Structure 1
Amino acid sequence: MVNFRKYISGVTLLAAGFLWAQTNVSTVLYSHNNDNSRSLSLPSPVDALEKAVLSPKDIVDINVNTMMADPVLKNATWGFVVYDPVTKKVISSYNETTPLVPASTTKLLTTETALSLLGENYRWMTQLEYSGEIDENGVLNGNLYIVGSGDPSLGTNKAGAWSYKDIVADFVSGIKNEGIKKVNGDIVIQTALFKGNLSRLPENVVWLENNNYYLPVGTTKEINPANEKLIVKKSLTTAADKKFFYVSPYANQMVYAEKYDGDGTLTTKLPDAPAYLANSFKANLVKSGVGVTGKVNPKMTDAAPESRKKISVYQSPTLADIVYYTNQRSDNSLAEALLKTVGFQKMGDQTSETGRIVVNNHLKDIAFDLEGLNYMDGSGLSRSNKVTPISQVKYLSSLMGSKFYKTYFDSLPIGGQSGTLKSMFLAEGNGQVFAKTGTLNKVKTLAGYLKTNSGKTLCFSLMVNNYAGSVSQVKSKMEAILKPALDL
């Protein structure tokens, strides 16, 4: 909070200067020698004198205090910190230790943990293998195996990932290169990484956001994602208190969403669909003249695995590419997949619960300020997520010396230029704000780095919960709060 007593002398001087400025401006604007003198566009005398009397820090502090009375923010719970990573000191703050819902700025923790624990060159592998023997007629007396590793970008074209069509074409080419003309066996899908995905969803999650529905990664069975529909049910309440529910055909669980803007059905996209890949593969094999006598058969575990030979391997984009896509577009399904992947790689169990343990342990290891932290999911969709502004900025500051900092920094949207910040900071701050955005109903957040006009790099966090008005109104207030910080 700002102590206004230290500004008394400055305000007095400012008032005197204002009167002086008004007199002098009047003299400039009007001349008896030229009654038709043109109107001059002059800078505001108040703005000019504010900058002459007050330091940039003073102006930031006063601006923050002024915002407390703003109709959009006065009844909201919000916090703000600007932090200098060189001096390790807070420059300006408000409610810096208050735990707030961070929305998608949660992805800052998830993506950094993945980069730190897995490395930026990490890739997911999807292998095509076969068991048995190929006879002199090109008949495979055995099974084909598609062995997945939980690739969240599989078939999606995200971050440069191949489409299902391209992967299938590569697999069919591999079959022909092996001389296989017929398969006397099944196509077995083997990916035990998602064995825990039929557990309950994270608590208090708004799985519907911006008219997109997010499924937990890996809950796919033998369903074509192009045909998946959600069941929309309305509770029997008054129109003013109407609620909407969605039922995942995979998790078999009703999920509450705060609002629904669609027409009653919503088509979803699956983050990982090995069954769809396998079925497409079988269909294309048959089309190309390679018969398959068996069926597509999911096999989560195999107590006595067959001896197998590798035919082809599809590699996902690098983790650096996935993190860039995740943060630029605030991709929830990729973020949830990263959570489960770090859980599997460190503890051998790819569930949300394990992922949370791994992320929390990592944050402890790097001395993250855990006061007020509640990390519930990888994406920030859960309203049970909580974090303080001060912990966010200290965390961001600590990463500046890490070996993957450039990759992490480059993944953040740029104000006025890219990603989810493309429509913000179109004037002041354009190209100077590098940050992750967050949006839920009545929650708007922003955290990242700020390049000042003097060339310094500062860390900042600005989280607003339960604001009044529209999203565009609160975004404009956030821009106004950060504008004076550009002069620090």
Structure 2
Amino acid sequence: MVNFRKYISGITVLASGLFLAQTTVSTVLFNSNSESQKSFNLPSPVAMIEKTILSPKELVDINVNTMMADPVLKNATWGFVIYDPKTKKVISSYNENTPLVPASTTKLLTTETALSLLGENYRWMTQLEYSGNVDENGVLNGNLYIVGSGDPSLGTNKAGAWSYKEIITDFTEGLSREGIKKVNGDIVIQTALFKGNITRLPENVVWLENNNYYLPAGTTKEINPMNEKLIVKKNTTISNDKKYFYVSPYTNQMVYAEKYDGDGILTTKLPDAPAFLANSFRASLVKSGLAVTGKVQTKTTDAQPEIRKTVSMYKSPTLADIVYYTNQRSDNSLAEALLKTVGYFKKGNQTPEAGRETVTEHLKDAAFDLEGLTYMDGSGLSRSNKVTPISQVKYLTSLMGTKYYQTYFNSLPIGGQSGTLKRMFLETGNGQVFAKTGTLNKVKALAGYIKTNSGKTLVFSLLVNNYAGSVDMVKKRMEQLIEPTLDL
């Protein structure tokens, strides 16, 4: 941090001149005989002198020292690092080695691990297959199989994913090509990945915070919305998608509703995507006149699988598209799905535990400083997540030489322009700050890259825990701290 003593003498010498200048300006502008005085927005002389005699680095250091005594931050625990990836040196820092709650900046680790292990062109496949034979009348004497791979975007329209309706239309056209006019059998859901949607929640998750993003958990299968306990007020929305959150008495977990109809009645959305797809597919076939004699059933393993023929294959958007959507919108459900996917890819197990082990092992291989790191979930919802600012910036620096860096970089929100940074850096820093945001109650985080006015790329981390005041107050101070770094 900056040593103020070396600046005191220069500022003291100028103090009398500044006072005289301000007095002279006031005398010139003020006329006691005038009934109405004009307001002049003159620049602060002190601010002008600071910019004249202090370097950008010194201004950054002064801002850090000033914030230590700021009423909003003085009792908070926070850390900051601005880092030059070319010189590999810290330009300015405060509490750089302190483990702090990173909130959704945790997604920086999750999404990069997925890109590294799976590749940016990775896609999830959902196939329609059938067993048995089709007779001369177009009757299939066998089963239809919907074989999934844990596609987190299935039916959501996220990142360009198809809707359930579009997938069902494609599957139906596939049956038509095969000449199938009736199914004398069941529709079987078979997926090796994500065997169930009801899993234990990450430790110490905060589910209901103002203006945050949430992960739908559990399944609404067999749940009557009339029995749900609404935990948000009518007309209160928590995201731009207008989703409402409630606790299921059946699973004792939080799920969400797309619509609030009043009086505690909720219209729910099924997070159990394969089951919803299969049931909707069956209903659509029957409605169109293609009879299905059997029912929808789930089969996770099959010791003696039937010989099957592929009818249609739906491919998800690429992983690059999914990562872009995840980081731009801070989508928790996609981040948790990526965690499970990398766990399955490396360990053959779709549990969160396998995912956490995979991410941690990848970070170790990537020379991430594991000291101070606690990685509990893929999304950053858990308050048990911890990371140090210095480890974040060194990690982000190490990625700049990877083959997928540009894809990763492009996924980050841009200050004043896109994603969760669209309403920050509207003036200074607009289009120059590329970073992942993080927000929980009394936690605000920002980590990423800065394009300076001279064309350099710097890396930074700013994590604030237990602040006083509002989120907007903290965001304003973050912007003030970042502002002089643009001139570095």
CA contact (8 A) 2:213 2:330 kept: no
CA contact (8 A) 2:225 2:265 kept: no
- Is 1:174 the counterpart of 2:174? The answer is yes
Match of 1:231 in 2: 229
Listed as ranges, the matches of 1:257-276 within 5 Å are: 269-276=269-276
Provide closer, same or farther for how the CA distance between residues 221 and 174 of structure 1 changes in structure 2, counting only shifts above 3 A.
Answer: farther
Amino acid at match of 2:399: L
Match of 1:442 in 2: 442
1:352-376 residue CA offsets vs partner (Å, 9 max, x unmatched): 0000000000000010111100000
Match of 1:350 in 2: 350
Cα RMSD, aligned residues only: 2.9
Give the C-alpha shift of residue 288 in structure 1: 1.8
Match of 2:305 in 1: 305
CA contact (8 A) 2:220 2:269 kept: no
Amino acid at match of 1:447: A
Question: Percent same amino acid among aligned pairs?
Answer: 77
SS in 2 for 1:312: strand
Give the C-alpha shift of residue 474 in structure 1: 1.2
Match of 1:241 in 2: none
1:267-309 residue CA offsets vs partner (Å, 9 max, x unmatched): 6645551100001100111122211110000111111111111
- Is 1:206 the counterpart of 2:206? The answer is yes
Match of 2:82 in 1: 82
Q: TM-score normalized by structure 2?
A: 0.89
- Is 1:215 the counterpart of 2:180? The answer is no
- Is 1:459 the counterpart of 2:455? The answer is no
Number of matched pairs: 469
CA contact (8 A) 2:216 2:254 kept: no
Match of 1:98 in 2: 98
1:457-483 residue CA offsets vs partner (Å, 9 max, x unmatched): 111111111111111111111111111
The CA distance in 2 between the partners of 1:129 and 1:447, in whole Å, is: 45
Listed as ranges, the matches of 1:401-440 within 5 Å are: 401-440=401-440
| The 10-residue stretch of structure 1 (206-215 or 178-187) with the greater mean CA deviation from structure 2 | 206-215
Match of 1:240 in 2: none
Amino acid at match of 1:299: K
- Is 1:377 the counterpart of 2:396? The answer is no
Match of 1:239 in 2: none
Provide closer, same or farther for how the CA distance between residues 214 and 362 of structure 1 changes in structure 2, counting only shifts above 3 A.
Answer: same
The CA distance in 2 between the partners of 1:144 and 1:221, in whole Å, is: 24
Match of 2:365 in 1: 365
1:145-189 residue CA offsets vs partner (Å, 9 max, x unmatched): 000000000000000000000000110110111000111110000
Match of 2:121 in 1: 121
CA contact (8 A) 1:339 1:378 kept: yes
1:420-477 residue CA offsets vs partner (Å, 9 max, x unmatched): 1111111111111111111111111111111112221111111111111111111111
CA contact (8 A) 2:164 2:277 kept: yes
Listed as ranges, the matches of 1:2-401 within 5 Å are: 2-15=2-15, 18-19=18-19, 21-22=21-22, 25=25, 41-195=41-195, 198-209=198-209, 210=211, 213-216=214-217, 219-220=218-219, 222=221, 230-232=228-230, 247-248=247-248, 252-254=251-253, 269-401=269-401
Provide closer, same or farther for how the CA distance between residues 475 and 91 of structure 1 changes in structure 2, counting only shifts above 3 A.
Answer: same
Amino acid at match of 2:308: R
1:252-274 residue CA offsets vs partner (Å, 9 max, x unmatched): 24569xxxx99867666455511
Amino acid at match of 1:451: K
CA contact (8 A) 2:76 2:466 kept: yes
SS in 2 for 1:482: helix
Give the C-alpha shift of residue 317 in structure 1: 0.4
Amino acid at match of 2:216: L
Give the C-alpha shift of residue 67 in structure 1: 1.0
Provide closer, same or farther for how the CA distance between residues 473 and 266 of structure 1 changes in structure 2, counting only shifts above 3 A.
Answer: farther
Give the C-alpha shift of residue 194 in structure 1: 1.5
Amino acid at match of 2:229: I
Amino acid at match of 2:113: T
- Structure 2, unmatched stretches of 5+, are 233-244
- Is 1:475 the counterpart of 2:475? The answer is yes
Give the C-alpha shift of residue 196 in structure 1: 6.3
CA contact (8 A) 2:156 2:162 kept: yes
SS in 1 for 2:375: coil
Amino acid at match of 1:174: G
Provide closer, same or farther for how the CA distance between residues 228 and 57 of structure 1 changes in structure 2, counting only shifts above 3 A.
Answer: farther
Give the C-alpha shift of residue 383 in structure 1: 0.2
Provide closer, same or farther for how the CA distance between residues 67 and 364 of structure 1 changes in structure 2, counting only shifts above 3 A.
Answer: same
Provide closer, same or farther for how the CA distance between residues 263 and 46 of structure 1 changes in structure 2, counting only shifts above 3 A.
Answer: farther
1:102-123 residue CA offsets vs partner (Å, 9 max, x unmatched): 0000001101111111111000
| The 10-residue stretch of structure 1 (18-27 or 55-64) with the greater mean CA deviation from structure 2 | 18-27
Provide closer, same or farther for how the CA distance between residues 211 and 387 of structure 1 changes in structure 2, counting only shifts above 3 A.
Answer: closer
| The 10-residue stretch of structure 1 (191-200 or 314-323) with the greater mean CA deviation from structure 2 | 191-200
The CA distance in 2 between the partners of 1:263 and 1:99, in whole Å, is: 44
Amino acid at match of 1:478: M
The CA distance in 2 between the partners of 1:482 and 1:264, in whole Å, is: 45
Match of 1:237 in 2: none
Give the C-alpha shift of residue 8 in structure 1: 3.4
The CA distance in 2 between the partners of 1:206 and 1:76, in whole Å, is: 19
Give the C-alpha shift of residue 206 in structure 1: 1.5
